[in-house]
A and B are shown apart, each in its own frame.
Chain A
Amino acid sequence: MVILMSTSRETHPSDDELELYSLGRMEEGQSRPVEEHLLVCEDCRRRVEEFDEFAAAMRAALREIEVRKQAESWTARLARLAAIPRPVWAAALAAVVALVLLVPWQQRAQPPFAVQLEALRQAGAPTAPAHRPLLVTVDLTGLAGEQGYRLEIVDAAGELVWRGTVRPAADNAVVTLKGGLGEGRYWIRVYESGGELLREFGLMVE
């Protein structure tokens, strides 16, 4: 019966190494000995999983704090504006009117961000910037035969965000989302006319 005898903590990869491995930021030459070690070391596998969980929570928390900070800074700015005298307000109002007229023009001028959704299992969903027009190309390869497909976009909670019918062209269907999407994870589902779910793609909007 083979039981590996080595128990010295000194020769396990360091926490720094395990964390870099967990974050996928290790060079090929560095990762090999770590991966060999992980083949037989339950302790270090558990450590890597802990680092995975910590990093995932850290990233999500930092992003949420950043978003909230930005929102708070806007509220504070508005409060300061309220204390400004009337003539200045008039000028500001004029500026706002100009802004209101300019924003739609700017949105139209902003080129849409192209997102390619492929029918291939991949490690992570494609990412797209938030609140920017999106040009989503959905891969329909292998689904030939239908005149049109129903497309639904739902958020992480399963709430419907967008629904429409698309016509395939050259194994793809292209959808333009003029208003873009807010931050979060989305699922793009392709249904046949009969209502059967044919495909589902993930999309991360950051």
Chain B
Amino acid sequence: MTRDAAEDARCGAGPRPNGAGSVNLAAGDYAALAALVERIRAGEEQALTELYAIFSKGIRFQLCRQLGPQELDDKVHDTFLIVVEAIRRGNLREPERLMGFVHTIVRRQVAGYIESAVNRRRNQADLEAAAPVADERSSPEAQAIARQKIELMKQVLREISSRDREILTRFYIYEQSQEQICREMKLTETQFRLLKSRAKARFGELGKKRLERRPLARFFLRASPGRRD
């Protein structure tokens, strides 16, 4: 399977083989994943390539969100190997549950990395040298892009009423739930959603206009290599 094919992969309608907690897939997809598991068990090399193409980006995405970008390639590789080994050993009893199985392994890996970080911290006094601390600062390019986005957002916020700004403040700054905001500000859920979606649309529109006005900006302000997947 090519990388492009993997990028086009979607989840869609279909029965849930094990009820709640499963992700929706078409019936054919479950069968395809089950067949893939069988091919891995049978030792087919091509099946590993396909498994990697389907899951590697998703695994990378989740590991990066929860652990940060440090040593991400190694972590994705380790997780993939664990998945493959577990499949080969027959630990996946219901092959159609492959997605849930991979998710569980990713969760365990995250928990494991966090635990080992805590242990390393605990044992650090015994080590000769301290563990290096990651530099969390973003690149100047990324900072410039972030600054530009904030300015665009300020423009969006200046265009709306103070009441609408209060609604957004409650949701994004004070982390109040939609229900609480609607109750206290006497809004319907539709009005609340509409406000958010209009702000998003306007933000996107302004961003697009900014790029159109400055055709070279897309070139100069591209994301730094290595910061994203």
Contact = CB atoms under 8 A, between A and B. Distances in A.
A121 interface: yes
B194 interface: no
A201 interface: yes
Interface in B99-143: 99-100, 102-103, 106, 117-118, 120-121, 124-125, 127, 129-131, 133-137, 143
B203 A57 contact: yes
A6 interface: yes
Nearest to B132: A199
A193 to B, nearest CB: 16
A5 B99 contact: no
A62 to B, nearest CB: 5
Contacts of B42: none
Contacts of B165: 62, 65
Interface stretch (B167-175, B180-188, B208-216): B167-175
A1 B50 contact: yes
A111 to B, nearest CB: 25
Contacts of A8: 10, 12-13, 26
B23 interface: yes
Nearest to A44: B11
A63 interface: yes
Interface string A61-81: 111111000000000000000
B224 interface: no
Q: Which bucket holds chain A's interface residue count? A: 35 or more
Interface stretch (A34-42, A84-92, A160-168, A173-181): A34-42
Given A25-B175, A64-B154, 18 more contacts: A2-B36, A2-B50, A6-B10, A6-B13, A6-B29, A7-B10, A11-B12, A32-B21, A39-B23, A40-B11, A40-B58, A41-B10, A41-B11, A43-B10, A56-B149, A61-B157, A62-B173, A123-B66
Interface of A: 1-8, 10-12, 15-16, 23, 25, 29, 32-33, 35-43, 45, 53-66, 118-121, 123, 125, 141-144, 156, 171, 187, 198-202
25 contacts: A2-B35, A3-B5, A8-B13, A25-B175, A32-B21, A33-B22, A37-B11, A37-B23, A39-B58, A40-B10, A41-B10, A42-B57, A53-B149, A58-B153, A60-B146, A60-B153, A62-B157, A62-B168, A66-B169, A120-B117, A121-B68, A125-B136, A142-B124, A171-B125, A200-B135
